[in-house]
Chains A and B, each alone.
Chain A
C-alpha cells in the first residue's frame, strides 16, 4: 500500500509541482561544476546566475521567491549529473534546471528532462546538436559553429591567405576546425594545413614549429579556454611566429577576458570571433561589468560563461514573471523558447523557437591595449547569427 502511494506520489510529483497554483517559492536547480580542476568554469556561471538574481529579485511578482538548489557534477561526469537531475526533480521538485558546463552532461540531461518534462536552460555546453536532443532544452550560450563559421567568412572576405588550423584534439576542437574550414573554404579561402594537438598536458612547441616551417599567412586556433590557451599563446610568442608575420586568429576561447592578464604581450593584434567581450562599449555591458566588479571585486572579470549564466537566469526569471508566479512546465517552456532580450550584455539575443538555440550577434574583435590592459575590442558585427551548423544541415 505504502509502496503504491509512494509510486503514485513520485510519478505525479513532477506534474504536481508543475501545476501548483500557490504563488510561493519556485525552485531552480543548478547543475554545475563546483569542484575539481574545472571548477573555475562553473564558478563563472554560478556568479552570473547569482548576480542576475540579486539584481532582479525585486522585480518578481509579490510573494514569489526563487530558491537556487545548487549541485556539483564534479566535471564532465554525465552519470553524476543524471542522478542529480533525478534528485532535483523528484526530491526537490525544481521547476527549471540550469547551469551545465559540459556537452556530455547536457546531452545526458536532455534525456532526463525529456522524460520528466522540466525545462533545461543551458548556460554553457556548446556542441551544435544539443538543442535538437529534446524540445525541453533551450540554450543561452553558443554553438561551436557560432564563432568558427563567421570567422571563416570574415577571413575569406579580408583575404587572409593561406591559413593553418591548429585545434585541441577533442570534439569541440574538431567542431571548430570544421566550422572555420567550412566558412573559409566555401568563401574562397585556402587551408595550408591542419593539426590537432593533444588535450592532455600538451607541449605546443613542436606543433607551432611545424606550422612556422609551413610559412602560412595566418593560424586559426581553438583551445579550451583557460590555462591551455595561455600556454599556447606564450609558445606562439616565444617561437617568434608573430615576428615572422604569421597572424593569429581564433574563436574567443583563446583570449577569454579573464585570462588576458596572464598572457603577456603576444595577444596584441590577435583577431577572434565571439559573442561576448567584457570590453564591449554597449551600455548594458558597462552596467553588467560594473555590477560584477562591485559584487565580486575589482580584479574579477566576467567572461562569456558569466553572461551565459546571467542570461539563463534572466530567461527563467522572465518566464516566472510572465506567469505571475503560477508556473506550469508547458507554459514555461513556451516562454523560454520565445525568449528575447534586447538588452543582454552581449547585445540583442533571442531564442529561435524552431530550434531552441540562441540567436545572437557574433563580433569580430581585435585584442588591443586599452587603459593599460589587454582587451578584446569589437570592430565588426555579424548580426543575429543562427547556429550555422543547423542552418547548413537544414538546407541539405
Chain B
C-alpha cells in the first residue's frame, strides 16, 4: 500500500525498492540482542530486578526514539505519558481489577489519549517553543498528581497497588524472575511493533516529514495528522512502560512523572544513538548498569562519572555508541 507519503521508486529505483525490502528482513544480529536478554536470566539471576527495570526503560526510550529520532519532535515531556500510564495502571489495580493485562490496557489508552490531546496543542509549534510546551505539560501533570492527594496519594505515593499473577500463573515476586520475563516479553512486543512501524510506508513518511517538511506538504502528505498519530502511538508505548513500572514495583510515586525522568530517557537515547531503533537497547542498559556499578563503588560521587561519560559521548561520539560502532566499521572497510 503505497500511501501518498512514500517516495515512489523512480525508473532507476530498483535499488531503493530492494533497500526498502531489506529493512523488513530480520538480521541475525537482531536475534542476538534477544538471546542476550534471555541468557541474562540464567547468567545473572541476582540482577533480575535490575534487568526488569532496564527493560522498562528500554521500552520508554524506544517510545522516545520514535518521536525524537524518527519524527524529529524533540520533546522534554515524555515522562508525562510514562507517569499517566503508571498512575492509570495503579488506580486500575486498586479500584477496578488487579489483572495485569487490564492495567496495561487502561494505561495504554489513557496515555494515548493524553498524548493525542497534548499533541493537538504541542505539535502546532516547533523547535524551542515545542520543547517548552512539552516541559510545561510534565510540570502541569506532576503538580496535578501532587494536588490530587486523595486520588494519587500525592507525594507520599500511591499505596495499596497489588498485581494478580500473570496469566493466573506467575506472581510478581520479590526475586524479580517473573518481572524479568514479563517486562522482557512486553518489551519484545513493543520492539516488534516499533520495527514494523518505522519500516512501514507510514513510518517512512514520518521520516520524510523530519527530513523535509515542505516537500512532504507539497506532495500532499497530511503532515500534522501524521505527526499527531505518531505522537499518540509513542505516548501509548510510554504509558505501557509506566504501567510496567507500577506493576513490578507495586507502587507509584511522583517521581514517575518528573522532568528528570524525561531528561534521563533523552540521555540514554543520545548515548545509544538517536533514530536507530536499537539506540534504546544500547543506551538504557549502559546508563543503568553504569549507574548501578558506579553508585555501588561510591554512592556520593557517582554522578560525576556519568556526567563525564556524557561529555565524552557528545564530544567524540555524536551519534551515540551505535554511531561510533558504525564509523569504526566504515573506517575498517575503507582501510581494507
A interface residue numbers (CB < 8 A to B): 2-3, 6-7, 10-11, 32, 34-36, 39, 70-72, 75-79, 82-83, 86-87, 90-91, 103-104, 107-108, 111-112, 115-116, 127, 129, 133, 169-172, 174, 198-200
In the complex where A71-B295, A72-B299, A79-B245 touch, is A86 in contact with B253 (Cβ < 8 A)?
no
Checking A2, A108, A127, A200 against B251 with a beta-carbon cut-off of 8 angstroms, the contacting residue is: A108
Closest 4 CB pairs of A and B: A104-B157, A72-B299, A104-B253, A171-B154
Determine the chain A residues whose CB is within 8 A of the CB of B173 once the complex forms.
115
Checking A10, A91, A107 against B157 with a beta-carbon cut-off of 8 angstroms, the contacting residue is: A107
Are B156's CB and A87's CB within 8 A?
A: no
In the complex where A76-B253, A83-B53 touch, is A103 in contact with B175 (Cβ < 8 A)?
no
In Å, the complex CA distance between A6 and B156 comes to 36
Interface hit among B141-149, B205-213, B266-274: B141-149
In the complex where A71-B296, A171-B149 touch, is A87 in contact with B49 (Cβ < 8 A)?
yes
Determine the chain A residues whose CB is within 8 A of the CB of B295 once the complex forms.
34-35, 71-72
8 extra interface residue pairs, beta carbon distance < 8 Å, beyond A34-B299, A108-B251: A3-B45, A6-B45, A71-B295, A76-B155, A103-B157, A104-B253, A170-B146, A170-B155
B50 contacts the other chain (Cβ, under 8 Å)? yes
B323 contacts the other chain (Cβ, under 8 Å)? no
Give the nearest-CB partner of A69 in chain B. Answer: B296
B46 contacts the other chain (Cβ, under 8 Å)? yes
Interface residue count for B (Cβ, 8 Å)? Answer: 37
Checking A71, A115, A169 against B147 with a beta-carbon cut-off of 8 angstroms, the contacting residue is: A169
B153 contacts the other chain (Cβ, under 8 Å)? yes
Are B174's CB and A112's CB within 8 A?
A: yes
Give the nearest-CB partner of A39 in chain B. Answer: B300
Are A104's CB and B174's CB within 8 A?
A: no
Are A78's CB and B249's CB within 8 A?
A: yes
Are B149's CB and A107's CB within 8 A?
A: no
Q: Which of B174-193 contact A (CB under 8 A)?
A: 174-177
Are B155's CB and A83's CB within 8 A?
A: no
Are B174's CB and A116's CB within 8 A?
A: yes
Are A76's CB and B254's CB within 8 A?
A: yes
In Å, the complex CA distance between A387 and B336 comes to 75
Are A115's CB and B46's CB within 8 A?
A: no
B34 contacts the other chain (Cβ, under 8 Å)? no
Determine the chain B residues whose CB is within 8 A of the CB of A129 once the complex forms.
159
In Å, the complex CA distance between A116 and B49 comes to 14
Are A35's CB and B45's CB within 8 A?
A: no
In the complex where A11-B175, A78-B249, A199-B146 touch, is A171 in contact with B255 (Cβ < 8 A)?
no
Cβ distance A396 to chain B, nearest Cβ, rounded Å:
19
Cβ distance B59 to chain A, nearest Cβ, rounded Å:
14
Cβ distance B132 to chain A, nearest Cβ, rounded Å:
16
B42 contacts the other chain (Cβ, under 8 Å)? yes
Question: Can you list 26 A-B pairs with a CB-CB distance of less than 8 A?
Answer: A2-B42, A3-B42, A10-B175, A11-B175, A35-B300, A35-B302, A36-B303, A71-B295, A76-B254, A82-B49, A83-B49, A87-B49, A103-B156, A103-B157, A104-B155, A108-B249, A108-B250, A108-B251, A111-B250, A129-B159, A171-B149, A171-B155, A171-B156, A198-B143, A199-B146, A199-B155
In Å, the complex CA distance between A313 and B249 comes to 27
Q: Which of B291-332 contact A (CB under 8 A)?
A: 295-296, 299-303
Give the nearest-CB partner of A130 in chain B. Answer: B156
Determine the chain B residues whose CB is within 8 A of the CB of A39 once the complex forms.
300
Determine the chain A residues whose CB is within 8 A of the CB of B49 once the complex forms.
82-83, 86-87
Give the nearest-CB partner of B177 in chain A. Answer: A7
Cβ distance B119 to chain A, nearest Cβ, rounded Å:
25
Q: Which of B117-163 contact A (CB under 8 A)?
A: 139, 143, 146-147, 149, 153-157, 159
Determine the chain A residues whose CB is within 8 A of the CB of B46 once the complex forms.
10, 87, 90-91
Cβ distance B32 to chain A, nearest Cβ, rounded Å:
22
Give the nearest-CB partner of A103 in chain B. Answer: B156
In Å, the complex CA distance between A172 and B295 comes to 29
Give the nearest-CB partner of A224 in chain B. Answer: B155
Cβ distance B90 to chain A, nearest Cβ, rounded Å:
12
Cβ distance B174 to chain A, nearest Cβ, rounded Å:
4
Determine the chain B residues whose CB is within 8 A of the CB of A108 once the complex forms.
157, 249-251, 253
Cβ distance A151 to chain B, nearest Cβ, rounded Å:
21
Give the nearest-CB partner of A175 in chain B. Answer: B156
In Å, the complex CA distance between A142 and B335 comes to 68
Most chain B CB neighbours (cut-off 10 Å) among A71, A127, A171 = A171
Cβ distance B328 to chain A, nearest Cβ, rounded Å:
33
In Å, the complex CA distance between A33 and B250 comes to 21
Checking A11, A79, A107 against B53 with a beta-carbon cut-off of 8 angstroms, the contacting residue is: A79
Checking B45, B175, B251 against A111 with a beta-carbon cut-off of 8 angstroms, the contacting residue is: B251
Most chain B CB neighbours (cut-off 10 Å) among A71, A75, A104, A107 = A104
Determine the chain B residues whose CB is within 8 A of the CB of A112 once the complex forms.
174
Are B251's CB and A107's CB within 8 A?
A: yes
Are A83's CB and B156's CB within 8 A?
A: no
Determine the chain A residues whose CB is within 8 A of the CB of B149 once the complex forms.
171, 174
Give the nearest-CB partner of B51 in chain A. Answer: A83
In Å, the complex CA distance between A129 and B139 comes to 28
Are A71's CB and B299's CB within 8 A?
A: yes
In Å, the complex CA distance between A169 and B254 comes to 14
In Å, the complex CA distance between A133 and B159 comes to 10
Determine the chain B residues whose CB is within 8 A of the CB of A90 once the complex forms.
46, 175
Determine the chain B residues whose CB is within 8 A of the CB of A10 once the complex forms.
45-46, 175
Determine the chain A residues whose CB is within 8 A of the CB of B153 once the complex forms.
171
Are B254's CB and A86's CB within 8 A?
A: no
Are A72's CB and B300's CB within 8 A?
A: yes
